[in-house]
Amino acid sequence: MNYTLHQLQVFQKIVETGSITKAAEELHLTQPAVSIQLRNFQDQFDIPLTEVLGRKIHVTEFGYEIAELAENILTQVQAINGKTMAFKGQLTGRLKIAVVSTGKYVMPYFLTDFLKKHPSVELKMDVTNKNKVLETLEQNEIDLALVSILPPGINLEYQDLLDNNLYLVGSSAMEVNSHVKHEEIFKEFPLIFRESGSGTRKTMEKFIEGNKISIQKKMELTSNEAVKQAVLAGLGFSIMPLIGIKNELQTKQLKIIPVKGLPITTKWRLVWLKGKKHMPLPLAYLEFLKENKEDIVKKFFSDMGGKED
């Protein structure tokens, strides 16, 4: 056999993503290039690694075993590269972070300068729903996670990054009588919720229950972007994090509806399991944040009501 490390990397990524298209995106390659590497790799085995049923690629049982071995090989290669870079005095390795969906508007700004300073560091950032973030956190599959509400029942340590301010928001085209009491606003228009389990959803429900507000109509959507588009279209109001609607407020597509008790302020926090023994890379990143967080907040979030801690 004469397979290459590149072929191992391509095959392992196909198995991980379950798709040639997604593998190509994550590896920054074209689909034809990934398909060629897969074919060249598979030609070296007498037993099929994958099969195509309909338009979907499926990994065989033998393929999964090979993928597991490939991942082990790639991990060892990464360790060799890491040792080499360490002897040169350079930080290296893969930083694994899980981010709740709205956190995609926050996390990149706290990573840019660190990654520029350490070009040999790889980043794996999974932007997903809160339940998936907590699952990967509890299973110790990641180094750090970004959340806006600390989950109960999990012993965590954390570092505050930024205030998370939530306001009642509506389309600029929707007319709201400024003299109407805030309880009446919620009766007049549908309130759009995030899915159950979302941090934003929990914050909304706590506000509504605490103020004994009666909701006549509501709808539920599964992402912050979907909620934003629904509000833009005039389907209703929502209580949303300011961080995700900054551009729409500046272009006057959306407007904040003044309501007693709002904004609600939570914290964007980078969290990890209590007692976790961090490797040098995440330790270096946390130290970087301690030294640079204040400057990052001032540079990128000074107009968002962010406060340094």
Question: Which of 24, 54, 87 marks a domain boundary?
Answer: 87
- pTM summary value: 0.69
Rounded Cα distance between 252 and 34, Å, is 43
Lowest mean pLDDT among 71-80, 98-107, 277-286: 71-80
End-to-end CA distance of the chain, in Å? 57
Q: Is residue 308 a part of any domain in this protein?
A: no
* Domain identity same for 188 and 243: yes
pLDDT exceeds 90 at position 114: yes
Query: Which pLDDT score is estimated for 76?
Result: 84
How big is the CA angle at 83 (ends 139 and 109), to the nearest 5 degrees?
Answer: 55
Q: Phi and psi of 146, rounded to 5°?
A: -105, 120
Residue 169: domain span: 163-266
Rounded Cα distance between 59 and 40, Å, is 16
* Domain identity same for 259 and 169: yes
What is the token pair recorded at 173?
């085209």
Question: Which of 54, 87, 120 marks a domain boundary?
Answer: 87
Query: Which pLDDT score is estimated for 199?
Result: 83
* Domain identity same for 23 and 171: no
Q: Is residue 199 a part of any domain in this protein?
A: yes
Question: Which of 57, 87, 117 marks a domain boundary?
Answer: 87
Q: Which element (helix H / strand E) includes 136?
A: helix 130-138
* Domain identity same for 181 and 158: no
Q: What is the mean pLDDT of residues 182-205?
A: 82
* Domain identity same for 24 and 148: no
Query: Which pLDDT score is estimated for 45?
Result: 94
CATH number at residue 185: 3.40.190.10
Q: Is residue 306 a part of any domain in this protein?
A: no
Q: Is residue 250 a part of any domain in this protein?
A: yes
Q: What DSSP string describes 203-242?
A: HHHHHHHHTTPPPS-EEEESSHHHHHHHHHTTS-BEEEEG
- Identify the residue with better confidence: 181 or 252: 252
* Domain identity same for 207 and 118: no
Q: Phi and psi of 217, rounded to 5°?
A: -135, 145
Number of C-beta neighbours around residue 247 at 10 A? 10
pLDDT exceeds 70 at position 191: yes
Query: Which pLDDT score is estimated for 65?
Result: 95
- In angstroms, what CA-CA distances link 254 with 123, 215, 260? 33, 22, 19
* Domain identity same for 154 and 271: yes
Contact 50, 20 (CB under 8 A): no
Q: What is the mean pLDDT of residues 149-174?
A: 92
Q: Is residue 196 a part of any domain in this protein?
A: yes
Query: Which pLDDT score is estimated for 282?
Result: 92
* Domain identity same for 280 and 216: no
Q: Tens of pLDDT along 27-45? A: 989 999 999 999 999 999 9
What is the token pair recorded at 220?
């539920």
* Domain identity same for 82 and 57: yes
Number of domains forming the structure of the chain: 3
Query: Which pLDDT score is estimated for 302?
Result: 84
* Domain identity same for 82 and 214: no
pLDDT exceeds 60 at position 267: yes
Q: Is residue 205 a part of any domain in this protein?
A: yes
Q: Is residue 309 a part of any domain in this protein?
A: no
pLDDT exceeds 70 at position 277: yes
Query: Which pLDDT score is estimated for 298?
Result: 94
Q: Tens of pLDDT along 208-265? A: 888 888 876 678 998 889 999 999 999 989 999 999 999 999 999 999 988 888 899 9
pLDDT exceeds 50 at position 307: no
* Domain identity same for 203 and 73: no
pLDDT exceeds 60 at position 308: no
Mean pLDDT, all residues of the chain: 88
Long-range pairs for 12-18: beta carbons < 8 A, 24 or more residues apart:
12/67, 12/70, 12/71, 12/74, 14/38, 14/50, 14/57, 14/59, 15/59, 15/63, 15/64, 15/67, 16/67, 18/57, 18/59
